[in-house]
Amino acid sequence: MNNRSYSARQLKEQIKNKSLSPQELSSSIISLCNSVQEKYNAFISIDPDIISKEIEALFDDKLKVGDNAPLFGFSYSLGDNIATSGYVTTCASKMLSTYKPPLDAHVFLKLKENGAIIIGKTNMEEFGIGCSGESSYFKGVKNPWNTKHTAGNGAAAAVLTGVVNFSLASDVRGELRQAASYCGVFALKPTYGRISRRGLLDSASSLENIGLMAGNTMDLAAALTAVAGHDPHDVTSLRSEAPDYISLLEGNSKELQAAVPENWQDAPYLEDELKDIFQGQLKKLEELGIKIHFVQLPHFQHSSLTATIISAVEAFSNLANYDGVRFGYRAEGRHLQEMYTLTRSEGFSSKLKKFLTFGALVSSAKYYNDYFLKAQKLRSVITKELEDCLQRYDLLLTPTTPFRAPGPGILPGREELPDPAGYYTAAANLAGLPALTYPLHTKGLPYGLQFTGKKEDELTLLKAALLLENENTLAFPNFDFNNQGV
Amino acid sequence: MQINDEELKNASWDARIKLTQQEEKELHEQLQTFFKMAKVLQKIDLGEAEASFGAIKGYNTLRKDIIEPSLPLQLSLENAPDADSSSFLVPKIVEE
């Protein structure tokens, strides 16, 4: 069984007419989780007791979860930097490997209210920084299309294998979308502030927000409808009401105008096959009535560099509180300063230690004006350039990443500053714009097609994705865990 | 541009991190690539552009000045590596 062959809607019917027992459903889901974990290392925590209790609640008529709850029967996972008081929340770091937060994230509470079942906490890069599968304390996530390659994170692998209907994970410079592209699933990073960030243990506050992944557009829209909206306890939360994306998706679409950066082929490590595939997709979109316009966005190409500098400085500041005093790992030191230094040197991965040192360097007095301040100014320029472009056009189209999922011997930009995987994705984080990646299934590992939209206009992105989805047959692999393989 | 060892040591001290020799070597290499790529920052004419500190303008608003319950003491101390009934405990601040 997996969730694509056994949808939440079917499940709802079976629970309603009680043709399936809670025990049968729990044991089936737990066994699927264990198989996915064993083969791909997608999860950091799976708790069979929590899964069983959540499922029993679905069957219990007396409990508040009614079968008319919008996400009744949907299963999901949370990235392990989203706080849950019932599960450890490790940020994939030794520093927090035993940390149990005192509070639940806003998104967790909203999903519970909407009837969704949490399956587990997914593996990721340490503190959500990057997508190359190198820094998790719990080892990397294998890509279910080809286990020699990285999945980017566990959220994408969980959606691809069908163990969950949707996943939530964070996006600093595009990590959510990059992993979705590597695994060939849908992902949406909404406008900054559209989904509450309360309970997100972030590394770069001004860039990072929570996004969603799913196996189709409608599941993405259903999950977004449940978690989007104002949260008075999050000062970065947008004050405007979030619409019901599902009902609006059913409405008619106007003719969309899409922009493509003229210099989109300048990305380092851009694969030749992707050039052809992307051009083919542009033709397909034109056939579907979307008008394509090539535009000049001269500073777009610097967005990954800009976001790398800003995220490193913000991480240097945000992660300063991991010092062994109030929570997390502590190393023994002869005095306080030594305890701080040893705690952080032993508690963080080698990759993160270098990244934080880089953040300290570019924000130091000598380099501040030439690098950090310049990056902040460039962020304003990139934001204005994108906003001006999106005044004239409904969407900006690019590939999601310049290359397929990195693997052994083909790790483009491994530990490079800036990270080349963020070439197309980082601009949306700098400007706080919504961006969606649509899966492009090919003969080998998949690619992604990215739509970036106007602030608070997630609906247009979902409509464009649905238009393509209705025309394309996506070739998801058929995972049969009983027979050990795809 | 070449970063010298002392600058790197100062930066890692600011981050309260001790890098191994191997990590220092790797970071030097990364920084060489970075500074090569970041030369572009010095060439771009940013005109009168103002620095941007967030994705949403004016998002950092203050809430009303009303006292609300905060995290209970016991819950705050629950994850501490070392604590007594009311405080976080840390090693002494001076070397012996």
Domains of chain A: 14-300+381-483 (3.90.1300.10)
CA–CA distance, B37 with A130 (Å, rounded to integer)? 19
- Check whether A413 has a pLDDT greater than 70: no
Contact (Cβ atoms closer than 8 angstroms) between residue A78 and residue A168: yes
Residue B23 lies in a domain: yes
Contact A193 B59 (CB under 8 A): yes
Contact A377 B94 (CB under 8 A): no
Choice among A262-271, A358-367, A387-396, B54-63 with the minimum mean pLDDT: B54-63
Phi, psi of A119 (to 5 degrees): -100, -30
The ipTM estimated for the assembled molecules is 0.93
Structure letter (DSSP) for residue B66: -
**In A, which residues are within 8 Å of B86 by CB distance?**
none
- Check whether A485 has a pLDDT greater than 60: no
Q: Is A438 helix (H, G, I), strand (E, B) or coil?
A: strand
Contact A378 B34 (CB under 8 A): no
Residue A420 C-alpha from the chain's centroid: 17
Which amino acid, A52? S
How many Cβ atoms are within 10 Å of A345's Cβ, its own excluded? Answer: 19
Over residues A21-39, the pLDDT tens digits come to 888 889 989 999 999 999 9
Residue B85 lies in a domain: no
Over residues A287-308, the pLDDT tens digits come to 999 999 999 999 999 999 999 9
Residue B82 lies in a domain: no
Which amino acid, A307? A
- Check whether A5 has a pLDDT greater than 50: no
CA–CA distance, B11 with B2 (Å, rounded to integer)? 14
Contact B91 A329 (CB under 8 A): no
Å from A390 to nearest chain B CA? Answer: 16
Range of the domain at B37: 5-43
Choice among A31-40, A365-374, A405-414 with the minimum mean pLDDT: A405-414
Which of B 4-63 lie inside 8 A of A, CB atoms? Answer: 7-8, 10-12, 14-20, 23, 26-27, 30-31, 33-34, 37-38, 40-42, 44, 46, 49-56, 59-63
Over residues B20-68, the pLDDT tens digits come to 999 999 999 999 999 998 998 888 988 889 998 888 776 556 778 899 8
pLDDT over 90 for what percent of chain A?
A: 81
Number of domains in chain B: 1
User: Any chain B CB within 8 A of the CB of A300?
Assistant: no
CA–CA distance, A383 with A386 (Å, rounded to integer)? 5
Query: Strand A447-453 relative to strand A291-295: parallel, antiparallel, unpaired?
Result: unpaired
Structure letter (DSSP) for residue A41: -
Residue B14 lies in a domain: yes
Residue B81 lies in a domain: no
Choice among A78-87, A254-263, A417-426, A470-479 with the minimum mean pLDDT: A470-479
Contact A325 B90 (CB under 8 A): yes
Q: Which of A377, A380, A383, A455 to mutate to test the interface with B (most CBs of B within 10 A)?
A: A377
CA–CA distance, A365 with B14 (Å, rounded to integer)? 12
Question: CA of A312: which chain B residue's CA is closest?
Answer: B15
Q: Which of B18, B20, B34, B42 to mutate to test the interface with A (most CBs of A within 10 A)?
A: B34
Contact B59 A418 (CB under 8 A): no
- Check whether A316 has a pLDDT greater than 50: yes
Question: CA of A315: which chain B residue's CA is closest?
Answer: B15
What is the per-residue pLDDT for A484? Answer: 43
Q: Which of A304, A343, A354, A414 to mutate to test the interface with B (most CBs of B within 10 A)?
A: A354
CA–CA distance, A415 with A182 (Å, rounded to integer)? 18
Choice among A52-61, A64-73, A143-152, A262-271 with the minimum mean pLDDT: A64-73
What's the CA dihedral at A77, A79, A80, A83 to 10 degrees? -80
- Burial category of A208 from C-beta neighbours within 10 Å (exposed 0-12, middle 13-18, buried 19 and up): buried
Which amino acid, A106? H
R_g over Cα of chain B: 22
Instruction: Give helix then strand counts, H and E, for chain A.
Output: 16, 13
What contacts A86, CB < 8 A, 6 or more positions away?
Answer: A47, A50, A104
CA end-to-end span of chain A: 13
What is the per-residue pLDDT for A174? Answer: 98
- Check whether A45 has a pLDDT greater than 50: yes
A292: β partners? A258
